[in-house]
Each structure stands twice: as structure tokens, then as C-alpha cells.
Amino acid sequence: MELRCTVSPVEWRQDRVRILDQTRLPWEQSFIEMRDYLAVANAIREMRVRGAPAIGVAGAYGAALGALAIQTEDREAFLGELHKVIYTLAATRPTAVNLTWALRRVGQAVSRGRDVLQMKSLAVEEAQKIQHEEELATERLGRQGADLIPDGATVLTHCNAGALATCGCGTALGAIRTAKLQGKQVRVLATETRPLLQGARLTAWELAQEGIPVTLIADSAAGHFMSRGKVDCVIVGADRVAANGDVANKVGTYSLAVLAAENGVPFYVAAPLSTIDLTLASGDQIPIEERSPEEVTHILGSRTAPEGVSAFNPAFDVTPSRYITAIITPAGIARQPYIVSLRQAIEGRTQVGGGDNA
């Protein structure tokens, strides 16, 4: 049986980009159609489309829209304008490397065009190709990850690394869905994921729709469940993986990894190859997006903290690789030493993995 997900966070429709507005979930499924790359940039910044692979694809389509709108026949002038488009889109969210990776691909594809007309169609074609490749990669990743999930397992996940965050059925949730498809009984503990509640609003919504048993917990309850032996493994997504295996993911991931190590629970990260950044030696070099303090002082637009109180809001944190049991990629399961196994995965060598740090 094949794994199929009906949710599609980003689509290209006749020279428009259509996104499912994730800020409106789970209350309503509403879509936004955009013809202007600046609208796409705003949608990414405002997290109407979110999740590392999905913003990569949305960014690529944004660049394609930008390319189509450039009014010149001159090849060099066209490339100069496209550079501005790509720069604007890349600046929207700095942590997920998928965005800059996808934009670079569109830029490189366009530069192979003979004339402006051809360059415009190359931009659209490359963005579509990225989406298709990401779909296939997510499927392969799901199969790799499912092998790590025992029958009867309770898997804890954080944020949303599901169909809404990718093209396909998700990374962490893709592994869970595939395990379910293979006939395994799997239960999910989903952290609510403050401040923007991706776990409560998105992961719980996605899984409940498919009848996968999901129980929502407060972020701060994770240690309680792990210490009572109620969690068989943790699987999370990633926004960027450095060459040494350090992982940036939704803030709170680091705390979960430390708790997992303390309680002897395997901690897995699921990431497509577009999320692996071998140019960064370690997680210290990963830029961490800081979002508005209002996301912390308010919940869903209602103030919960006293007027005038200050707040900091890093959207991501970095989990050192020593806490990570394995990194699930479409090319295989990477293990310590990640400096070797991640390069093998990227270079397409089949033998991924070294020792086991579990």
C-alpha cells in the first residue's frame, strides 16, 4: 500500500502560488492565492506557510513569481532583478536552510537560460522540480524512519514535522504514518509547542484526521512522561543540521533531547538532505530566528502577561549531536560520527552510519 496525504501546504496553479493558511488551522481550512513574490515573502514571515521543507518550496515558487514579473529583455538586467527577489525571500526566515538552498537552485537554473523568456520558464520548472524531489525524498525518509519505530510504540514529537511542513506526508510524522501503514500500532504524544502551538493546532489536527491516536501534552510535561517510561522514542524534524550533526529545530527540542538522554529514550531527528548544511561545522554557526516578543506575551492574540513586561522569543534552539541517537534521512539512517555519515548521505553513498551513540 502506498502512503498518501491529502494536505498540501503549497501549490503552483497557473502562474500563482496557493498556500493553505496555517495560522487559521485548526479552525478553518482557508487558502491564499498569490501572484506577487512580496506576498509570498510575507506569508513565509507570518508563518502562513511554515516548516523547513515547505518554506523551501514556497520560496522557490516565490522566486518563480518574481521572475515572471520582471519587465526586461536584457539578460543581465533580468539577473540583477532576480537577485533582489531572491534576497528578499531569503531574508524572511533565517534558520531553515531549505529556503536558501531552494532559492539558490532556482538562481542557478535560471542562469543557464539563453534569453529572458527561457530564464522565466526555467525558474518555474526548477521550483516544480524541487517540489517533486522533496515529495519523493519525504516518502523515502518515512520508510527509513518507520524501521526505527517498534510495534506498540508511543512516539513523542514536538512542533509539526508533518504534511503541513513538507511536500508529502512529513518527516517525523511521515515515519509514524509509514509505521502505521506497515501495520504497527503507534501512539503519538504531541507537545503543544508554545508559543505558536504548532503541536496543538497542526500536529494534533493532522493525526486526528487520519485516526492516528494522538495525545496532547503541555511542553513542560514531557519529562514526566519520559521518567514514567511512557515514551518509547522521540522523533522530531529539523530546520538545519550542521556537518557535525548538531540540529536546529523548534525551540524546546534541546530540552527534550536532554530529557531523553537522562531517561534512556532514543532521540531521533528526521531530515531531508535539503536540511543538511555541510558548510557549517557546528550548530553554533546556525542563525537563530528571533520572533516578536508578542508571540510570548500573548496566546492567539490575547494578552497573557502584564502590560509592559519584556519577553524574548528565539524560534529555534540547537541540540548538540551527542544527544541525538540517529538522524533519519532519505538516504539512510545516519549515526555518529555524523561528520562522516552525513557526508555519505549527501554524496549518495549507500552505507550511511557509524557507531551507535544510543
State the catalytic residues. 239
Q: Is residue 178 close enough to count as binding ligand MRU by CB under 6 A?
A: no
Q: Is 248 helix (H, G, I), strand (E, B) or coil?
A: strand
Q: What angle do CA 120, 124, 127 make, to 5 degrees?
A: 140
Q: Is residue 52 close enough to count as binding ligand MRU by CB under 6 A?
A: yes
In the complex with ligand MRU, the residue whose CB is nearer, 49 or 65, is 49
Q: Is residue 329 close enough to count as binding ligand MRU by CB under 6 A?
A: no
Contact in structure between 126 and 106 (CB atoms under 8 Å) = yes
Proportion of the chain in helix, strand, coil states, percent, rounded to 5: 45, 15, 40
Q: Is residue 238 close enough to count as binding ligand MRU by CB under 6 A?
A: yes
Q: How far apart are CA 174 and CA 169, in angstroms?
A: 5
Q: How far apart are CA 159 and CA 200, in angstroms?
A: 8
- Sole binder of ligand MRU in the list 3, 19, 41, 50 (CB under 6 A): 50
In the complex with ligand MRU, the residue whose CB is nearer, 171 or 297, is 171
- Sole binder of ligand MRU in the list 65, 89, 122, 159 (CB under 6 A): 159
Contact in structure between 254 and 317 (CB atoms under 8 Å) = yes
Residues composing the chain: 358
Q: What is the DSSP string of 151-162?
A: TTEEEEE-S--B
Q: Segment contacting ligand MRU (CB under 6 A): 49-57, 70-78, 301-309, 320-328?
A: 49-57
Whose CB is nearest to ligand MRU? 237
In the complex with ligand MRU, the residue whose CB is nearer, 109 or 165, is 165
Q: Measure CA of the first residue to CA of the last residue in the chain; give whole Å.
A: 32
Q: Is residue 277 close enough to count as binding ligand MRU by CB under 6 A?
A: no
Q: Is residue 166 close enough to count as binding ligand MRU by CB under 6 A?
A: yes
Q: Is residue 9 close enough to count as binding ligand MRU by CB under 6 A?
A: no
Which residues would be at the binding site for ligand MRU (CB under 6 A)?
50-53, 96, 159, 161, 165-166, 171, 198, 236-239, 249-250, 315
